[in-house]
Amino acid sequence: MFYTTDKLDELIESLMKTNTSSFNRSRKYETETTDDGIVLTIETPGYNKNLIDVIVEDKILIIEGKSNSGSLDGFKEKFSLSDKFNNDDIEASVVDGVLTVTVPYKEESKPRKVKVKVG
């Protein structure tokens, strides 16, 4: 599937259309669109896998960093997910203070290549 820049922005916007932060602490995040879905990276210095929860509730992706004995303020980010995403196969990992969340497209929403015929 061929996407114009506007359409690509719309797809990214569909993931990010509602983003709210708690504890007055917004995290810096970036999104990347791939043929398989969206990759969301969030800076989470000082947080390890035991201090981060990634929850999918209905069509909301919730990312929560738990406070750690006063040295870390907690945070909570919420993102609305569109119907194009497969919420059951979302994956998350944290490495060197960066949380990566992969939100795959549903199979029917993935771009596919169409063979061009001659004649």
| CATH code of the domain in which 90 resides | 2.60.40.790
How many structural domains comprise the chain? 1
Which domain, by its residues, includes 70? Answer: 5-108
**How sure is the predictor about 18, in pLDDT bands with cuts at 50, 70 and 90?**
very low
**How sure is the predictor about 9, in pLDDT bands with cuts at 50, 70 and 90?**
low
**How sure is the predictor about 8, in pLDDT bands with cuts at 50, 70 and 90?**
low
DSSP state string for the chain:
----HHHHHHHHHHHHS-EEEETT-PPPEEEEE-SSEEEEEEE-TT--GGGEEEEEETTEEEEEEPPBTTTB--EEEEEE--TTB-GGG-EEEEETTEEEEEEEBPGGGS----PPPP-
Task: State pLDDT tens for residues 78-87.
Answer: 999 999 999 9
Is 114 within a domain? no
Res 23 pLDDT > 70: no
